[in-house]
Structure 1
Amino acid sequence: MYLYNHRNNLDNLEEEVRKLKGANKEVQDKVVAAEKNVETIKQNVMQWQKEANSIINEAEQLIAEKANDRCFKGFCPNLITRYKHGKKAFEIKEGKISPLLQRRNEFDVVSDPTRLEDMWLKPDKNYGLFTSRDSTFKNILKALNDANVNVGVCGMGGIGKTTLVKEIGRQAKTDKIFDVVIFVEVNKTPDIEMIQQEIARNLGVKFEEETQRASKLCERLKKKEEKILIILDNLWDDFDLKSVGIPDEVDDRGCKLLLTARERPLLEKMGCGPFPIDSLSDDESWRLFKKTAGDHVMDFSISFYIII
C-alpha cells in the first residue's frame, strides 16, 4: 500500500503541511498581539507551536527527498526508498499533523493577563535622603505586625506622608509581612466606586452586580487565607469604611489598614493608632532640593536668583 500510494501520500502530506503552516501563523499572530499587550502566553500554546514547527521541518525534509527516489542514475525507481517515503508521509500526516490541527481549535485564547506590579511599588530614589524618618518607619512596620492594631500617619500637607506610607508598603511586601499590599488615594471627595475597583483589582475580585460591590469585597476581606494591607491615603474627613466594603470590626477583618490624614483626631476616630511626622530637617530639605534641581543648583548666579 505504501509503495503503490507513495506519491499520493507525499502530495497529501504537502497539503496538510500547508494547513499546519496556516494554523501556526494564525496562532503566532495572536501570540505577537498578546505579547505586545504584555500578556502571558499559555504553556500549552507554546508547546503546540514548538511541536508544529518541529513537525513542519520534518515533513518538509521528507518532501524534499522525494526527488531522490530513483536509482541507476535516475533510470529506475528505487522501490525501497519509495516504500519508506510513502510510509513515513502517511505516518506524519495521520499521526502527527492531524492531531495538531485538531488541537488548534483549543487556542481561541492564547494568553492570560499578566499581573503587573503597580508603579507605586517601584522604589523611590529620593526616600534614602530622609534619615530623620527612620525611627517612625521602623515603628510603623512594627505596629503593622500587631494583629490588633491599625495604623495612621498624620502631618501637615506636603510633609511627605504619602512618600512614607508607600515606602512602608514596599518594605512590608518585600519582607512578606503581607501577601497583598493595596494603595488607594482617597482625596477630599472620595470616589467610592474607584476605591472599590482598585481594591477588587488587587484581590482578583470581579463584580457581576454593581449593587453588590461592597458586600462582595466585605466577604473577600473577611477571609484569613491571605495577609492584606490596605493603604488609604489622604483622608480629609470621617470615612465610612463599610460603604467601600471594608469590615469595621477588627476581629472580622482579614486585612490591616494604614491611613494618612492631616489631622490626628480623624485617625483616632477611625480606630488607627496615629504616628505624627514632622518637617524634614534643614540638611534633608537641602539634599532633596539639590537632588530635584540637579547640578545647576550649585551655579552661583542661579542660586542667587532662587534665593532672591
Structure 2
Amino acid sequence: MEIVSSIASKVFELLVDPIRNPVEEVEADVPRWFTKVNNVTEDATKILLQHEDKAKRSCFMGLCPNLIRRHQISRKASQALPIVVEAREEGNFEKVSYRITPQGIGAVKGFEAFESRTSAVEQIMNALKDADVNLIGVYGMGGVGKTTLVKQIAAQVREYGIFKLVVIATVTHSPELKKVQQEIADWLDYKFDVESVEVRAARLSERIKREEKILIILDDIWAAIKLEEVGIPYGLDHKGSKILMTSRNQSVLLEMEVQRDVLLEVLQHQEAWNLFEKIVEILKIPTYDL
C-alpha cells in the first residue's frame, strides 16, 4: 500500500501545482500518465485489500483460510507490483508544467494591405513555407515599414499555425549580444544563470532546439552578426527554426547568407496619398483644397 500511497501523493502534486500558478500549463504527458495511474492504482488497491482481508481471517475449529485462494491473490499482487512500480517511475517528470509563453504579437496596428506590401508579404510567406529555406531577409530604406511588416508576418504565421512560437529581438546599429540573447530568452521564458556570452549562446541554442517550430525575427540589423554567437540554431542544426531578418542594406543580409531577400520599397504615390487621407480622417483634422 505504501507504493500506491506515494503515487497518490504524486498525483496530488501534479494536479495542485499548476492551479497554484495560473500562468503555467501542464505538460502533455502528465494527463496520460494520470489516466494510467488511475487504472493501475484502482486495480492494485483491490488486490491488496483482498489480500489484507484474507490475511485477517483466523483459523476456526482447525479450519484455516483457503490456502489456494491466498496463493492466487498473492500471485496477482506479485504480477501487479511491477506495473505499479513502473507507473511510479514514469511519474518522475523533469517538470510537470511549463510557463505559458507570452503571445504578445497580435494584429499589427498601422499595417495597411497596400498592393506593394501585399507582394512583399506573399514573398516572405512563400519563403517561410519552403522547407529548403531557413534564412530570409527584408531590406529597404529607413522608415518604409520593415518592422511593421515583419510584425504582421509574425501575427499571420501564428494565426495560420505555420509556427508554434514567434520571437522578436531588435539588434540595432551597435548590437550587444547579451541584450539580443536576453530578448530571445524572455520570449522563451528562459533564465540565464551565467554571464559568459559563449555559455549563454550554447544554452540558448539548446533551449531553442526544444521548440518544434519556431520563427526568430531579428529586426534592424546594421552590420552582419554571427547567429551561432548569439545562440540561434538553424539549418541542419535545427530544421524547425527559421530566421527572418530586417536591414537597411541588402549587402548586410547577403553577408549573413540569406537564401531569400525581399525588397520593401517606399509606398507608391497613390498609396501614400490614400494613407495620408486615412490618417487625416482618423485625427479629424480639417483639410483644405490645395
TM-score (norm 1): 0.57
| Structure 2 gap segments, 5+ residues each | 1-18, 26-97
Q: What is the CA-CA distance between 1:175 and the residue it aligns to? A: 0.7
* Residue 290 to residue 214, structure 1, CA distance change in 2 (3 Å): same
1:153 partner letter: V
* Structure 2 residue 174 is matched with structure 1 residue 189: yes
Same amino acid, percent of matched pairs: 39
The answer on whether the counterparts of 1:129 and 1:284 sit within 8 Å (CA) in structure 2 is no
- C-alpha separation between the residues in 2 aligned to 1:208 and 1:42? 21
Q: What amino acid does structure 2 have at the position aligned with 1:159?
A: V
Q: Greater helix share, 1 or 2?
A: 1
In structure 1, what is the equivalent of residue 266 of structure 2? 279
Alpha-carbon distance, 1:204 to partner: 3.0
Equivalents in 1 of 2:262, 2:149: separation in Å? 11
> Partner of 2:138 in structure 1?
153
Cα drift, residue 41 of structure 1 = 7.4
2:114 corresponds to 1:130: yes
The 1:41–1:268 alpha-carbon spacing in structure 2 relative to 1, beyond 3 Å, is closer
- Per-residue displacement from partner, 1:167-204 (whole Å, max 9, x unpaired)? 11110111111111011111101122121112112223
Structure 2 counterpart of 1:185, one-letter code: T
Q: Distance in 2 between matches of 1:164 and 1:142?
A: 15
Give the partner amino acid of 1:179: K
Structure 1, unaligned runs of 5 or more: 1-30, 44-111
The one-letter code sitting in structure 2 at the alignment partner of 1:281 is Q
Q: Any idea what SS the aligned residue of 2:187 has?
A: helix
Contact 2:217–2:243 (CA under 8 A) maintained in structure 1: yes
Post-superposition Cα deviations, 1:261-300, rounded to whole Å, max 9, x if no partner, equal 1111211111212111111112221222233333544421
Of residues 127, 142, 163 in structure 2, which corresponds to 1:143? Answer: 127
Q: Secondary structure at the match of 2:242?
A: strand
SS in 2 for 1:299: coil
| C-alpha distance in 2 between matches for 1:202 and 1:188 | 22
C-alpha distance in structure 1 between counterparts of 2:268 and 2:160, whole Å = 28
In structure 1, the partner of 2:242 is 256
Which amino acid in the other structure matches residue 158 of structure 1? G
Task: From 265, 289, 292, give the equivalent of 2:251.
Answer: 265
> Greater Rg, structure 1 or structure 2?
1
Aligned partner of residue 112 in structure 2, secondary structure = helix
Aligned to 2:287: 299
Alignment of 1:21-60 (within 5 A): 40=22
Tell me if the contact between 2:101 and 2:187 (Cα under 8 Å) persists in the aligned partners.
Answer: no
TM-score (norm 2): 0.60
Kept in 2, the 8 Å contact 1:188–1:236? The answer is: yes
When residues 292 and 155 of structure 1 are mapped into structure 2, their CA distance, relative to the original with a 3 A threshold, is same
